[in-house]
Structure 1
């Protein structure tokens, strides 16, 4: 992965009808802005129950978006990251439909993970209670097979997302086939989606257990052998994230979004500085994603303190809801059909009360902390909460998944905000200091001073929280220059 700003987007929600249109957008309106693009699920179909994260066929591009040759063509313009959805397939997939028809005689019987494969003698109430869940209710859905038999099938997320047995021969073949397809089509990086849930073992939480780490390590080795780097997506206690980072190429810095909000809301960079002293360096940094703003990543766990005190964290969540005029509350938790109750669903711009100045400061912080910065397409355009889409789907995360028209995009890139953001992106992509050594300078908690030094080249960020002002200075031909925003 290039140490340049990365874009994360759906193909069909950013003013494009297909992959070829996206290539044109990258070459023109967004020329020179991104070192890589993470294409959110483009598999068949893109409009399933979970916006492509429940593929009927993970090895086929939705024909409405194009084909693998189109993706290969895009990869010649920009690095491509794709999702390897390791935990589940669609209930409408050929594999699961064959299983429903033939049961244990199905060639895909060992691929489909059922309750009795993990609990052959049945699961006790205590064992069920131990299982970590991203949503309320049991982790199983009862299906009736063609012969009338009933089976409890693992469905960690929704009843349309059928968990697979990744430890079985069929499970390995399934994932290997996707990796081979990616390799042939120019994909140079994968994100392991829902990897934390991939291994189920009786008597455990079935989330990030020792065997899960082993699985992640094994699939990382396979990908690396094909020239594909691995990013692991895990929302969890911060110490778990530190451990995962030691075993893979990249992890997300999911603690950063809330720590930046904490810094700006409370005019105190203390918690952020503490995190930067211990955080992994092989990270992809984000402020927003296609999911919500994660809370679990900074919260306490089982009596162990988190990165932010629980009472302060509660106030931050309330501040986000207030800043969005309550719209985020309508999309969060039990208020809508949410898969994860531990996130706040809102655009980051709305979480900051649509304050362009503070939003730009937040991006300055993201771009100056260690890691490769990734920008979500809605965040790129300082998007607002899409209440119409939320009302239409009642899916909480859709509040931050707007379908932009090309006209909307052209209007936003002509705005003062985007022109300022563009300056920041260009500096982050081009200045050699960001290949050097990072330092958090010792200051009062109401001042954040971050510095990068690479030989004689340097770049520094000053955030004066009391007055909410930002200053960026950097070297150019041995002279000091200042990045100014209009």
Structure 2
């Protein structure tokens, strides 16, 4: 995996077309910016109830985007990350429809998880209360079979996403087929989507229990044997990320986005530096993704202290709502049909009140923090909250899932903040110092993040009180280059 910035994008939402057009965009307008691309679900269909995360056929490219040969062509020049949707599949899949038609006589009955499989003696109130769920209400959905009987299937996220029994032979075969398809199509990075929910056990939270760690460990090793790198996608207490990092190749640093916001809002970098001292080094860093801005990742959980106090989290959330002029409030929690309540739905750009310098400082921190940075397509182009899309779909996450096209991309790349950001990306990609050793120093309202390799150095010093940052680069010839973030923005 290249130690360069990666792009996160839906194929159709950035191009208004398919995989061939995305390849052209990467090679042309975005040339030199990205070493890899995370292709958000491109399976059939891309427009289900959860924007592709509810596949009817996980091994079929949606024909509106192209085919697996088009995926391979991107893989010829870029690292490709794809989602292995571990926990569930669509209720519209042929397999589940066969279950509804034939019940327990279906060849696919064992593929799906029912309440009875986990709780054969019945679900007690105590068991029910223990289950951790990312949305309110029951984690089961009742379906009527063709013979008139009913069955309660486990649906962690939405009614249309039926949980897989990953312990069954059918479940294992299903995941094996997806991995084999990835291997054949030059997908070399696997994002284990919702893996923390895949294992259910009576009397537990059914989320990131010890058996979950064992499952993720085994799945990661299986992918490694095929030459693929695994990335675990888990929103939880920050120490869970530290622990899971020992089991997989990479984890997300989901604590970083809210901590950077807290630091810029409060001008206090204590919580951020505390986290960077302990954060896993084998991580992918993000500020924004196709999901919202995670809050659970910095908060307390099950009696464990968080990276931020409850008061600090309240202030963080209220500041985001204020900066976005209340738009994030319309897209978050019970205000929209969200599948979770642990995040704030808002673009990162709007979370910072569309302040270009603050946004550039946030990206600079991300790029200098340990890990390989990913930049979401809407964040790359500083696209504001898409209130029209939100009002049309009433899906909270759509506020940060805009539909663009090549012309809109070209227009957005002329914005000063985007021009400055692309310069930061090129700087991050070109300096060999980021392959070296990371160090950090902080004072009351300043923070310095430094990288030192055998023949180069790179440092970022941030002054939160005066709102600026200074990058100093030293190459192997001893030549020093200084880059001020405020000047970089002014000259863009």
TM-score band by shorter chain is: over 0.9
Match of 2:309 in 1: 309
In the alignment, which residue of structure 2 is the partner of 1:448? Answer: 447
Partner Cα distance (1:186, 1:304) in 2: 41
Equivalence for 2:171: 171
Q: Which residue of 1 is the match for residue 354 of structure 2?
A: 354
Deviation at 1:77, TM superposition (A): 1.8
Corresponding residue for 1:285?
285
C-alpha distance in 2, partners of 1:416/1:212? 45
Match of 2:156 in 1: 156
Name the CA distance, whole Å, in 2 between partners of 1:8 and 1:264.
24
Does the CA contact (< 8 Å) of 1:16 and 1:22 recur in 2?
Answer: no
Q: What is the alpha-carbon distance in structure 1 between the residues aligned to residue 238 and residue 111 of structure 2?
A: 32
**Whole-angstrom CA distance in 2 between matches of 1:303 and 1:161:** 31
Query: Displacement, 1:303?
Result: 2.7
Match for residue 331 of structure 2?
Answer: 331
Q: Is residue 135 of structure 1 aligned with residue 135 of structure 2? A: yes
RMSD: 0.7
How far off its partner does 1:140 sit? 0.3
- State the distance in 2 between where 1:455 and 1:343 align: 41
The answer as to 2:397 corresponding to 1:397 is yes
Partner SS for 1:403: coil
Distance in 2 between the 1:285 and 1:170 partners?
Answer: 34
Matched, 1:265 2:260: no
The offset of 1:291, in angstroms, is 0.3
- Partner Cα separation in structure 1 for residue 417 and residue 15 of structure 2: 19
1:397-456 CA-to-partner distances (Å, cap 9, x unmatched) read 000000012221101112221221111101100101000000002x31300111100013
Q: Structure 2 unaligned runs (5+)? A: none
Shift of 1:321: 0.3
1:2 is matched with 2
1:383 aligns with 2:383: yes
Q: Distance in 1 between matches of 2:291 and 2:444?
A: 30
Q: CA offset at residue 483 of structure 1?
A: 2.2
Question: Contact conserved, 1:99 with 1:109, CA < 8 A, in 2?
Answer: yes
1:26 to 2:16 alignment = no
**TM-score of the aligned structures, taking structure 2 as reference length:** 0.98
Between 193-202 and 413-422, report the one with greater CA deviation: 413-422
SS at match of 1:158: coil
Q: Distance in 1 between the 2:415 and 2:339 partners?
A: 35
Structure 1, unaligned stretches of length 5 or more?
Answer: none
1:34: how far off? 0.4
1:15 CA displacement: 2.3
CA drift at 1:16 = 3.9
Partner of 2:226: 226
Alignment match, 1:48: 48
Which residue does the alignment assign to 1:147? 147
Secondary structure of the equivalent of 1:110?
helix
Take 2:97 and 2:123, find their aligned partners in 1: how far apart are those partners?
A: 26
- Distance in 1, Cα, partners of 2:365 & 2:352: 14
The offset of 1:223, in angstroms, is: 0.4
Distance in 2 of aligned mates of 1:278 and 1:419: 33
1:281-335 CA-partner distances (Å, limit 9, x unpaired): 0000000000000000000112321001110111010000000000000000000
Q: Secondary structure at the match of 1:192?
A: strand
**Number of matched residues?**
485
Q: Distance in 2 between matches of 1:47 and 1:180?
A: 24
**CA-to-aligned-CA distance 1:345-366 (integer Å, 9 cap, x gap):** 0000000000011000000000
* CA distance, structure 2, for counterparts of residue 268 and residue 461 of structure 1: 17
The farther-off stretch of 410-419 and 189-198 is: 410-419
Q: Distance in 1 between matches of 2:354 and 2:56?
A: 38
Report the counterpart of residue 101 of structure 1 in structure 2.
101
**Residue pair 2:25, 2:406 contacting (<8 A) in 1 also:** no
**TM-score normalised by L of structure 1:** 0.99
**1:409-428 residue pairs with structure 2 within 5 A?**
409-428=409-428
Question: What is the distance in 2 between the residues matched to 1:418 and 1:169?
Answer: 49
